[in-house]
Amino acid sequence: MDLPISKPVIIALDGYSSCGKSTLAKQIARHLHFLFVDSGAMYRAATLYFIENNIDVAKDNEVNNALENIHITFKNIDGENTTFLNGRNVESEIRSLQVSGLVSEVSAISSVRKKMVELQRQMSSENGIVMDGRDIGTVVFPNADIKFFVTADPIVRAQRRYNELLSKNQKADLHEVISNLEHRDKIDTERADSPLRQADDAILLDNTHYDIDEQFSIVMDKIYKAIKGLS
Ligand code: DC
């Protein structure tokens, strides 16, 4: 689908953990031929590096040295956006509960955020970008053309994440998934640097009662209306 506009469009999707932002962002990007960027995958890849290299996240010098050795890239493999850490495919490892358990602490560190935001702002595409995360509409691209803030009931979110882990043959315990989500919501919304919050000009989308197709059609309708205003 081509859009009647002359400049690359930026669509920012922010919201709580496990409310389907990446799934939605991928659908939009595929439909509009935009670049999809999963900014959470970048924080996850950095966290995996910290775990594997026994970096003490409380020590600034260890964190800063580590950041110089972290190179994160994305490649399209069999139609799937895939995350690489220093040339190694880490797409599956970064989704583990071990990484999920530490990623909010790592992403609350300002030097980590500074590096990730720089990388995110360098990503560009001829048609446009759909980027999902926590601070895309507020910090990374405050002038994004269209912003959504996605939320859903926490129990529904936990059940979705649990099903996702099972479908990928990863070890999962529903109570552990619930407590991980509560933990991440708390840190993501309360951290000092770039806390998760709805941008003033973001469209609120509570998808508790929507399935993926319903959500997609609601969102595309809003995107087309917003884009008409841009052309
Ligand atoms: O989207 P996700 O659940 O994969 O993100 C993992 C963590 O990364 C999330 O708990 C908070 C952090 N994150 C962030 O701080 N800023 C972003 N733009 C994206 C993710």
- Digit-coded pLDDT (tens) for 93-112: 999 889 998 999 999 999 99
Contact 187, 104 (CB under 8 A): yes
C-alpha distances out from residue 177 to 38, 47, 95, 162, 231, Å: 20, 18, 12, 6, 44
Which residue's CA lies nearest to atom 10 of ligand 1? 104
Least confident of 39-43, 127-131, 225-229: 225-229
How close is the Cα of 104 to the center of ligand 1, in Å?
7
Tens of pLDDT, residue by residue over 138-189, are: 999 999 999 999 999 999 999 999 998 899 888 889 999 999 999 999 999 9
Residues with CB under 6 A from ligand 1: 17, 39-40, 43-44, 103-104, 107, 133-136, 184, 188
CA 180 to chain CA centroid, Å, is 16
User: Domains in the chain, start-ordered, CATH in brackets?
Assistant: 9-230 (3.40.50.300)
What is the pTM for the complete model shown? 0.93
